């Protein structure tokens, strides 16, 4: 039995109508989610939207023979983790759970200043005493860079009662910290390293970019699948990378911070995304990185733009097109959006960020370079006299 749930005529000002209109437009997404609105085929979502009925397991109490237990075990095997947990409340729920499982009430934590707000919420809820790490500041780009391992060591030398370190790598702009060195330092002090790798979910499936923190000694790694992979918004995964972590405590806090009614649509999307990346995604990433290299080479030739660039792929995620001009970057953002119908991820006065993923198309890349070539001679892009 089917019926008309959404009446577009009666819903002219509603969310659904707005989404349908946007989907039908020619606006191209240089922003998350990573599927870029052209992901895998999916049936009518209402046909498969269920609750925890017999035969479908329970995310909060997975049975060792159950569907969700086996799905998470499959993820553990693909990622070579100690355990991998599905997240349907985004990386936010993973970060909250990681902090609460690693640091008891009233204990101490070391947090990088550029951490996501969920890290601060975890500290607040757990009533944790906090010491701060200040990552490198890039004056030219007006953004944070990497965390210096020496600063981590200095902080742990000064206060050996710290129980965990939390850092963001990669940053929003794609800058990666030396996780191997930082994890080595943390483990010398018996301290847990939590890495917010929300923007690096693609790292595990290609040798063209940075290595995932999971493979460099981090104890807890949180990835937003939806940011850079073909997965629904809100989907993420929490990996446990060492025996320092009590899995039962992680599960306990996930039960608190995740909805008691997890969407099977989202969980199916997580599994299909991981399976796709394991079977086909590696080859698709190889093609994507070749196309991305050509795009970046074309942008570099434009004299009135500057592209954020690190010489070592080990410490920079080139999927982020971080671009600035001689004038105000918000004007560039507005021109790309309003004149060329290219939707960037974000803008500051200093730079814009365009997010690219393996689901970007040739058409999208061609439209972007065409727009930038035309805008290269706009007056606001040129240096002020």
pLDDT tens, position by position, 26-60: 999 999 999 999 866 777 888 999 899 999 999 99
The closest alpha carbon to 86, from 115, 66, 112, belongs to: 66
For the ranges 5-19, 77-91, 280-294, the lowest mean pLDDT is seen at 5-19
Cβ contact 305:354 at 8 Å: no
pLDDT digit string (tens) for 115-160? 999 999 999 999 999 999 999 999 999 999 999 999 999 999 999 9
**pLDDT over threshold 80, residue 350:** yes
Is the domain of 269 the same as that of 292?
no
Residue range 307-318, pLDDT digits in tens: 998 878 899 999
Kindly state the tokens that stand for 306.
């500057």
In a domain, 16, yes or no: no
Verify that 197 and 313 share a domain, yes or no: no
- Does residue 185 lie in a domain region? yes
One domain, residues 110 and 144: yes
Is the pLDDT at 384 greater than 60, yes or no?
no
Residue with tokens 């749930």: 5
The arithmetic mean of pLDDT across residues 242-271, rounded, is 97
What does the pLDDT average to over 169-189? Answer: 98
pLDDT in the model for residue 313: 84
The residue behind tokens 């040739």 is 362
Based on the fold, state whether residues 78 and 105 are members of the same structural domain.
yes
Is residue 6 included in any domain, yes or no? no
Number of alpha helices (DSSP H) and beta strands (DSSP E) in the chain: 12, 15
Same domain, 175 and 302: no
Q: Do 166 and 81 reside in the same domain of the chain? A: yes
Q: What average pLDDT does this structure show over 324-347?
A: 96
Position 3 in a domain: no
Lowest mean pLDDT across 13-17, 62-66, 93-97, 294-298:
13-17
Query: Do residues 361 and 317 share a domain?
Result: yes
Token representation of residue 17: 């109508």
CB 348 within 8 A of CB 329: yes
C-alpha 342/C-alpha 363 separation (Å) is 11
User: Which of 184, 254, 199 shows the shortest CA–CA distance to 229?
Assistant: 199
How far is the C-alpha of 212 from the C-alpha of 197, rounded, in Å? 8
In a domain, 21, yes or no: no
Question: Cα torsion for 271, 74, 174, 247, to the nearest 10°?
Answer: 110
pLDDT of residue 4: 61
**Residue where a domain stops, chosen among 252, 276, 300:** 276
Q: Identify whether 199 is part of a domain.
A: yes
Tokens 């200040």 found at: 134
DSSP per-residue string spanning 84-98: EEEESSHHHHHHHHH
Give the span between the Cα atoms of 229 and 200, in whole angstroms: 9
88 plus 165 within the same structural domain? yes
Q: Which residues contact 33 (CB under 8 A, 6 or more apart)?
A: 226, 227, 231, 232, 233
Domain with 312, as residue range(s), is 27-36+280-381
The CATH number of the domain holding residue 289 is 3.90.1150.150
**Considering the entire predicted model, what is its pTM?**
0.94
Q: Does residue 360 share a domain with residue 347?
A: yes
Are both 76 and 218 inside the same structural domain? yes
Residues 216 and 179: beta-carbon distance below 8 Å: yes
Q: How far apart are the first and last CA of the chain?
A: 69
The answer to whether position 7 is within a domain reads no
Q: How many domains does the chain have?
A: 2
Establish if 222 belongs to a structural domain.
yes
Sequence-separated (6 or more) residues with CB below 8 Å from residue 311 = none
Rounded-to-integer distance, Cα 94 and Cα 85, Å: 9
Res. 6: pLDDT tops 80: no
- The pLDDT assigned to 377 comes to 86
Domain boundary among 229, 252, 276: 276
Q: How far is CA 174 from the centre of its chain?
A: 10
Residue 224 shares a structural domain with residue 168: yes
φ and ψ at 201, to 5 degrees? -65, -20
Out of 221, 249, 276, pick the residue that ends a domain.
Answer: 276
Q: For residue 385, what pLDDT is reported? A: 45
The number of angstroms, rounded, from the C-alpha of 58 to the middle of its chain's C-alpha atoms is 26
Q: How far apart are CA 380 and CA 385, in angstroms?
A: 12
**In what helix (H) or strand (E) does residue 6 lie, and over which residues does it extend?**
none
Looking at the structure, do residues 224 and 355 belong to the same domain, yes or no? Answer: no
Question: How is residue 157 written in tokens?
Answer: 């030398």
**pLDDT of 3 above 60:** no
DSSP calls for 339-381 = TT-EEESEE-SS-EEEE--TT--HHHHHHHHHHHHHHTT-GGG
């Amino acid at each position: 039995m089917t019926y008309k749930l959404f009446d577009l005529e009666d819903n002219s000002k509603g969310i659904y109508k707005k989404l349908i209109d946007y989907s039908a437009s020619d606006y191209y997404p240089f922003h998350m989610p990573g599927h870029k609105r052209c992901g895998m085929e999916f049936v009518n979502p209402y046909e498969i939207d269920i609750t925890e009925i017999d035969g479908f397991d329970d995310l909060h109490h997975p049975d060792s023979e159950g569907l969700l237990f086996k799905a998470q075990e499959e993820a553990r095997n693909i990622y070579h983790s100690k355990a991998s947990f599905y997240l349907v409340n985004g990386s936010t729920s993973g970060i909250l759970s990681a902090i609460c499982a690693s640091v008891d009430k009233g204990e101490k934590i070391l947090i990088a200043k550029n951490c996501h707000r969920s890290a601060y919420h975890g500290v607040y809820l757990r009533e944790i005493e906090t010491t701060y790490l200040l990552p490198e500041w890039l004056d030219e780009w007006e953004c944070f860079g990497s965390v210096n391992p020496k600063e981590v060591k200095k902080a742990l030398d000064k206060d050996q009662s710290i129980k965990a370190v939390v850092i963001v790598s990669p940053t929003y702009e794609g800058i990666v910290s030396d996780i191997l060195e930082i994890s080595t330092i943390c483990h010398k002090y018996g301290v847990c390293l939590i890495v917010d790798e929300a923007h690096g979910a693609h790292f595990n499936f290609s040798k063209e970019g940075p290595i995932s923190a999971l493979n460099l000694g981090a104890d807890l790694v949180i990835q937003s699948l939806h940011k850079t992979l073909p997965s629904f918004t809100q989907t993420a995964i929490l990996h446990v990378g060492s025996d320092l972590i009590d899995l039962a405590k992680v599960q306990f806090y996930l039960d608190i911070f995740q909805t008691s009614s997890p969407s099977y649509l989202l969980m199916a999307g997580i599994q299909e995304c991981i399976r796709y990346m394991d079977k086909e995604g590696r080859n698709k990433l190889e093609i994507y990185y070749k196309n991305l290299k050509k795009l970046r080479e074309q942008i570099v030739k434009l004299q009135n733009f500057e592209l954020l660039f690190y010489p070592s792929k080990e410490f920079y995620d080139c999927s982020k097109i971080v671009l600035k001009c001689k004038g105000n970057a918000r004007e560039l953002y507005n021109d790309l959006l309003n004149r060329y119908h290219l939707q960037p991820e974000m803008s500051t006065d200093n730079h814009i960020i365009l997010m690219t993923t393996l689901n970007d198309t040739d058409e999208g890349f061609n439209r972007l370079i065409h727009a930038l070539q035309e805008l290269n001679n706009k007056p606001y892009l040129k240096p002020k006299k």
